[in-house]
Amino acid sequence: MTRIVPPDLPAIGAPYGGGFFAGPYLDNGVLYALIVAPRAEGESEALPWGIPGETAARSLTDGLANSDAINDDLHPAAQFCRALTIGEFIDWHLPALNQMSVLRKNMMPGADYVPEQTTAQAFQAGGPEAFERELYWTSTEFSAGSAWIQVFYDGYQYYDDKSCRLRVRAVRKCPL
């Protein structure tokens, strides 16, 4: 059996690739670094995912492909992320469901139902880069009328109506 040994990785929350290293993840057998955007530049407070209707944003792992599929005026959350240029990088996107799972696992600010906090000090509750204990969109569509969300106050993933106005935090990926 061949074991994949990842390269030396930065610490969770360390500056990396225009943002902060959120953790490694696999997409189609390729190991990537997931990078979360700085909060001041890469987060929006209240955007709708988009209007109801079927889209091509069904990937659980490829937020960039999902975001590119819905990067138009009808899908403000993805459009916000795709319009970003941070640290000379233009490949920021709305995270797919499994990418958001990496953020939940490694960047959780601590909450009533999930008492563990991230080890990354800047992302801990009250820190300058911390996720709010609120709902965040993923780029993964659930149905014609809803898309997946990440809840940062209890750690769960649900789906919500695409017209709801929720938080958005951009990410990018790069091969390791």
- What's the predicted TM-score (pTM) here? 0.93
- Give the side-chain half-sphere CA count within 13 A for 133: 14
Q: And the tokens for 6?
A: 């990842």
What is the per-residue pLDDT across 2-42, written as a single tens digit (0 to 9) for each? 555 566 889 999 999 999 999 999 998 899 999 999 999 99
**pLDDT at position 112:** 63
Distance CA 35, CA 1 (A): 30
pLDDT category, 98, cuts 50, 70, 90?
A: very high
pLDDT at residue 60 is higher than 60: yes
Cα distances (angstroms) measured from residue 47 to each of 23, 27, 165? 26, 27, 4
Number of Cβ within 10 Å of residue 88's Cβ equals 6
Residues 6 or more apart from 25 whose CB is under 8 A from it? 31, 32, 34, 61, 98, 99, 102, 173
Q: What is the mean pLDDT of the chain?
A: 92
Taken as a whole, the chain contains a residue count of: 176
Q: Does residue 92 come out as left (phi exceeding 0), alpha (psi in the -120 to 50 range) or beta?
A: beta
pLDDT at residue 99 is higher than 90: yes
Distance CA 170, CA 78 (A): 9
SS (HEC) of the chain: CCCCCCCCCCCCCCEECCEEEEEEEEECCEEEEEEECCHHHHEEEEEECCCCCCCCCCCCCCHHHHHHHCCCCCCHHHHHHHCCCECCECCCECCCHHHHHHHHHHHCCCCCCCCCCCCCHHHCCCCCCCCCCCEEEEEEECCCCEEEEEECCCCCEEEEECCCEEEEECEEEEEC
